[in-house]
Homo-oligomer: A and B are copies of this chain.
């Protein structure tokens, strides 16, 4: 773009203002904007008189590697994981704020690719939502802290604690795909201790799908408000694996959840354990299941174990990013 310095300078070679201008040139306006980027703060419409707010951070090492994630991938994922949390309350995302800490050696193109990733993730997953503000600083560790805001559009928020005995347990989204993608990265794209760039041509269609689920997740953000409008009694984002997150929902609601083994696919262990899917887990009064959700179980009165499957208790050990990411690959 004409407004950018020639070549591909590092952050250390240009001013903060130049970086910010390049980012803003790629930022779409948010539909709910009252005051956009450039002042001390943004002002976002909250028509229903309340705002949904959540924050989630991606740190290089525990959460991603630049050898595996392009700037676009990173921006997309940082947006998607936060949009999913807003959706899990039953709300429609309205705005993102991005706090970016980057090494001085970071190329401007990596940052503008991130801005593209934020924009395109919003366009695909939550149309009308966009980055409305942010902060840029330098750090030895690339860190992307995103805050997402959302509007409930007159509906009550759907928490984790409202599941009732007899409700259907339903899921929208993937089970285990993102974890399979992560296993591919660790298994196939490293050289000893070092991550190496992904060669997509070495992957078959199913593997590519899993890789995309890991690097550019597409959670069913639009189904959050759909579930709320349909009368979901409880809902949450499944980010730490179905086993752990269903256990959390069951505990918050003081019930037991019985999962149907037959609903967990050909690899139930993978479906239960895999993290980072950002599916929506919800409970609905029996007989109500909005489009996009599939039934995977039933809410029972609280028993000895919060989560059961096929008549057996399920170990709630789920996804631990420190354990699964931080292992041996630099």
Question: Which of B40, B55, B99, B157 contacts A133 (CB under 8 A)?
Answer: B55
A residues 112-142 near B (Cβ < 8 Å) are 132-135, 137-141
Interface residue? A95 (CB, 8 A): yes
**Measured CA separation A137–B321 after assembly (Å):** 9
Interface residue? A42 (CB, 8 A): yes
A62 in contact with B137 given A47-B49, A101-B57 (CB within 8 Å): yes
Most buried by B among A54, A133, A157: A54
Verify A41–B52 contact, CB threshold 8 A. Answer: yes
Verify B141–A145 contact, CB threshold 8 A. Answer: no
Verify A59–B159 contact, CB threshold 8 A. Answer: no
1/0 per residue, CB under 8 A from B, across A89-127: the answer is 101000101110100000000000000000000000000
Residues of chain B lying within 8 A (CB to CB) of residue A88? 40-41
User: How many monomers of this chain does the complex have?
Assistant: 2
Verify A50–B44 contact, CB threshold 8 A. Answer: yes
Residues of chain B lying within 8 A (CB to CB) of residue A133? 53-55
Interface residue? A35 (CB, 8 A): yes
Residues of chain B lying within 8 A (CB to CB) of residue A276? none
Interface size on A, residues (CB 8 A): 60
Question: Which of B43, B49, B140 contacts A45 (CB under 8 A)?
Answer: B49
Verify B89–A41 contact, CB threshold 8 A. Answer: yes
Which of A's residues lie within 8 Å of B, judged by CB? Answer: 34-35, 39-47, 49-57, 59, 61-63, 84-86, 88-89, 91, 95, 97-99, 101, 132-135, 137-141, 143, 145, 147-150, 152, 157, 159-160, 235-237, 321-322, 326
**What are some 14 contacts across the A-B interface (CB < 8 A)?**
A39-B159, A39-B236, A40-B89, A40-B235, A40-B237, A41-B53, A43-B53, A46-B51, A55-B97, A56-B99, A57-B99, A59-B138, A61-B138, A135-B145
